[in-house]
Amino acid sequence: MKTTRRLLAVLLALVLALSCAAAAASAVGEGLHYVVLGDSIAAGSGLRNPGEANYGRIVANTNSYSYQNFGENGMRTSGLLSRLDRGDVADAVRRADIISISIGGNDFFTNNSPGLFFEVTFRYFGRINSIASDMRRNFAGIMEKIRAYNPNAAILMQTLYNPTIYPFRFGTAEAVNRVNSMIYDYLRDHPGAYHIVDVAGAFGADPTYICIDTIHPNAKGNEKIAKVILQKLYELGLGSRTDPVIRVKGVSTGELNYAAIWAWFANLGKFFSR
């Protein structure tokens, strides 16, 4: 009888300990405010239901964060630098405990992508160098402004993947490298400024993460980005789990964007006329 009682006592203590551990784990991250800034990747372009299923929403749901997303299609570094002066954005940044940023790709790809192909082909980088210089200056301003608003938030800076089925992919590699070099160079010169979330490394050369528009992450891609962010947050002690909670399944866009294809060729002349 005594042996049975001891065994029951041990089992009860074990159950209580596991319950407490589970409660503590589930509480990690609760009450934190999560803000997403940046471009169409941040906004969830590539999904029919971005508000419910983009990576920012998945991360917030998984760790029970409150959440705001200010991602916008076509956003460049210059646009984000200006957007940080808008009252609601500035207030959100001030309140944030965690800030995710995706920015830089549009500096090159919006109205420039046809020219990038030709510059890389003929090894003439005049326009690319000019864009990169402006981007770096704007990026430094973005970081300074965010830190002025909020010196304590954990900033997660996402690397830029190369859209593997983008037309003339080798032409985009130079632009992608310029963006990612900027991200690593800034952190080298400003240790601790942010934590790098290596989306580019996570995507690799796998085209199944990319939407049919040949640019944006599809539903699978958004889940992959969420996993990489969740892993980083777990390492930082700001999240309780690394496996994403998918409350609403993402629905990838399925239409071929003929307008975007036409614009790609139409913008070729604009690139060289600058």
**pLDDT tens digits, one per residue of 102-133:** 999 999 887 666 667 667 777 777 888 899 99
Percent of the chain with pLDDT over 70: 75
Predicted pLDDT of residue 24 = 41
The CB density around residue 179, as the number of other CB atoms within 10 Å, is 23
Percent of the chain with pLDDT over 90: 65
- Comparing 135 with 113, the larger pLDDT belongs to 135
Predicted pLDDT of residue 236 = 98
For residue 203, pLDDT over 70 is answered with yes
pLDDT band at 175 (very low <50, low <70, confident <90, very high): confident
Predicted pLDDT of residue 6 = 55
Assign 3-class secondary structure to the chain. CHHHHHHHHHHHHHHHHHHHHHHHHHHCCCCCEEEEEECHHHHCCCECCHHHHCHHHHHHHHHCCEEEECCCCCCCHHHHHHHCCCHHHHHHHHHCCEEEEECCHHHHHCCCHHHHHHHHHCCCCHHHHHHHHHHHHHHHHHHHHHHHHCCCCEEEEECCCCCCCCCCHHHHHHHHHHHHHHHHHHHHHCCCCCEEECHHHHHCCCHHHECCCCCCECHHHHHHHHHHHHHHHHHCCCCCCCCCCCCCCCCECCCCCHHHHHHHHHHHHHHHHC
Dihedrals φ, ψ of 101, to 5°? -130, 130
Segment 232-248 mean pLDDT: 96
Q: Which value, in Å, is the radius of gyration of the alpha carbons in the chain?
A: 22
Residue ranges of domains in the chain? 30-273
- Comparing 95 with 130, the larger pLDDT belongs to 95
CATH number for the domain formed by residue range(s) 30-273 = 3.40.50.1110
- Give the chain's end-to-end CA distance (angstroms, integer): 90
Residue range 136-157, pLDDT digits in tens: 999 999 999 999 999 999 999 9
pTM for the full model? Answer: 0.81
pLDDT band at 12 (very low <50, low <70, confident <90, very high): very low
Residue range 207-238, pLDDT digits in tens: 899 998 888 999 999 999 999 999 999 999 99
Look at residues 207, 225, 214 and name the one whose alpha carbon lies nearest to residue 253: 214
Mean pLDDT of all residues in the chain? Answer: 85
For residue 15, pLDDT over 70 is answered with no
For residue 189, pLDDT over 80 is answered with yes
